[in-house]
Structure 1
C-alpha cells in the first residue's frame, strides 16, 4: 500500500506531462464502421430471424412475430435507445442475408458451430440446449433412446440445414432420413404416420409435445449439447463487446430470468398462437 501511495504522485506527474493515451485514427475508423455505431445513427436495430421456431420466434393470431428472441431484441433496442424491426428470412439464406447487410444481427436460436463461425462471429451463448426426439406413440415400448432408432427400419424426419439434421446424420446413419423445409412439416410427418421420429431442439419439442401428447412421445433427454448465440458480421469488436455486456446486465437485473420463465417455464402464450 505504501509503495502505491508513493508512486501515485509520480504517475499523476507523468500523465500531466504526456497526457492520457488518445484514441488512434485506426480506433476511430473502426468505430465509424461498427454496426453498433450505424444502429445508433439510424435509430433502428434490424433483427434477422425465421419465424417458426417455438418458443424463440413465431407468429401469433394477429400475424405478429413473438417469442423469446423477439423480447430479447426489444429489450436490446431499449438499452440502445432505438426502435427495433424484424426481418423474417428463410433459414437457408439467413447467414448470407446478414453478410449482405439485410439486417444488423441474427437472433434466431442459432447453434454456434465451427462451420458457421467461419462466416460470422457470435456473441457469448445466451442459452444452451440439445437435440431430443419426438417419437410416434406406437414405438413407445420399444424405442427408449437415440441408439434404438439407428436402424434401417425407421424413418427419421428433420429440418433441412439445422443441427437436428446434422445430429440425425451423425447418430442415425443407418435409418432412412427425410428432410423438410420447416419444423412443423417434419413433426407433422410423424403425427401422420409417414415417419417414426422427429429430431429437433429441446425447446421446440417441449412446446410441441404439450399440444400433441395423444400421438407423440417425447424422449426428452438431450443427446447433444448446443450453445445458441447471436451472430454478427466479422470485424466488429465494438458490437460484440456491447452484446456481451448487455447479457451481463440483463442477467444481473433479473430481466433474462423473467423472459426465460415466460417462454420456457410457462405455456400461457400458446393460447395466443395461430391455431391456438
Structure 2
C-alpha cells in the first residue's frame, strides 16, 4: 500500500526469535508447573523480554493497575526506570469459582450486617408510671390530708372533708376520669404515707422545703403563705421580725412536724416550745392561756381569729417568712408528676385558683359546717 513501508526480513527474523524464546520458557514452566512467566519491556533497549520464577503454576497475561505500579516503583510512579506488566496466576481445577463464591458471600454478609446496623431503629422503652397506672386501673385517686387545716382542708360536723385543697383534689380526679378518696392522717405522717405508697398525693398545706424535697417530689406552689403568730397580746401582735418575739420565757405552740416547729427552734431559740398533734390544739392552748402565742401560717392565724371572734385573738399584719405551698407526690412516676403540674398551671391560667381563694377566704359561710 502507498505510504507504508514493508517490514524487512531482518525485522521478521528478530520477531520470530523473540517469540521462540518466550514460548520455550512458557513450555518449560508448563512442564515443571513451578516456573511462572513474567513479561516486561525494558525501557533501555525497548525489547520485550521474558523471565521465569517460582511464583505460580499456570501464568496468564494480566494487567497491573496504576496503584500497583506506584507501589512497585517504591512510592513514586516515575521512580522506576521500567514499567513491568506481570501475569496473574490461576488456581488449579475448579477452586477459583469456589473462592470467588466464598468471597462474594462474605462481602454480602458484611454488607447486610452493615445495612442492618445503620438502619436499626432505636429501641423505645415505655416510661414507667406505677402510680398513674394504678389510679386508672382502680379508678381511685388516693389523697392524703390532715383534715384540720382550715380553710385548706377541714372536717365538717358530718365528717366530710372540705376546703381549698379538697376542691383541688376533686377537680383533679374528675379531669382524670376517676374519683378522689381522702385518707386523713396526722400532718407529721403524711409524707411517710407518700413514701410508703399508702397515698398517691398529699394536699395538706405542705410547705415546699429542700429537706422535704429529698423525700418526695413537689408540684407548685399553688399558694404562697408565711409564718405569723396568733396571740391575745397586743404587744406581740406588733412584732415585725422573729427577733421581736425571741424573749426568754416566752411560750409558743406549733403543729408537730411542721415548718412552724422548725421556725421556732431556729429563729426563736429562747422560746419554750409546745408541739401539738393538731392545729386546733395549738389554737386552744392560746385561748386557754397555756402559751403566749401560736406560730403558724398566716392563713391559719386569720381563720382561727375568724372562728373564735369572742376570744380576743389577733395576728400580725405581715408574715415573717415566705412559705410556698405545694402538692407532694411520689418521686418514681414522672408522668403523674407532669400531669399534676400541667393541671395546676391550667387552674392558675384560667383564674380558677383565684376563685377558690375568694370562696374560702372571703366568704365565711363554710364556718357553719364546722363542729
Q: Give me the TM-score of the superposition, normalised by structure 1.
A: 0.85
Give the equivalent residue in structure 2 for 1:140.
234
Secondary structure of 1:119's counterpart equals: coil
Equivalent residues in 2 for 1:54-203 (5 A)? 54-136=150-232, 139-141=233-235, 144-145=238-239, 146-203=242-299
The alpha carbon displacement at 1:45 in A equals 0.8
Give the equivalent residue in structure 2 for 1:272.
369
Secondary structure of 2:148's counterpart equals: coil
The alpha carbon displacement at 1:257 in A equals 2.0
> Distance in 2 between the 1:121 and 1:72 partners?
18
Give the equivalent residue in structure 1 for 2:357.
260
Secondary structure of 2:220's counterpart equals: coil
1:237 aligns with 2:334: yes
Deviations 1:225-264 (A, max 9, x none): 0111111111221111111111122222332222121112
Closer, same or farther: CA 22–106 of 1 in aligned 2, 3 Å:
farther
Larger Rg: 2
Deviations 1:127-155 (A, max 9, x none): 1110111112xx31465214332111311
Deviations 1:38-58 (A, max 9, x none): 212221111011110111111
Closer, same or farther: CA 271–124 of 1 in aligned 2, 3 Å:
same
Decide whether the 8 Å contact of 2:237 with 2:316 is kept in 1.
no
Give the equivalent residue in structure 2 for 1:13.
none
More relative contact order in 1 or in 2 (CA 8 Å, sep 6+)?
Answer: 1
Secondary structure of 2:291's counterpart equals: coil
Secondary structure of 2:228's counterpart equals: strand
> Distance in 2 between the 1:96 and 1:211 partners?
31
Runs of 4+ in 1 over 6 A off after TM superposition: none
Give the equivalent residue in structure 2 for 1:9.
none
Unaligned runs of 5+ in 1: 1-17
Decide whether the 8 Å contact of 2:186 with 2:278 is kept in 1.
no
The alpha carbon displacement at 1:37 in A equals 2.6
Give the equivalent residue in structure 1 for 2:40.
none
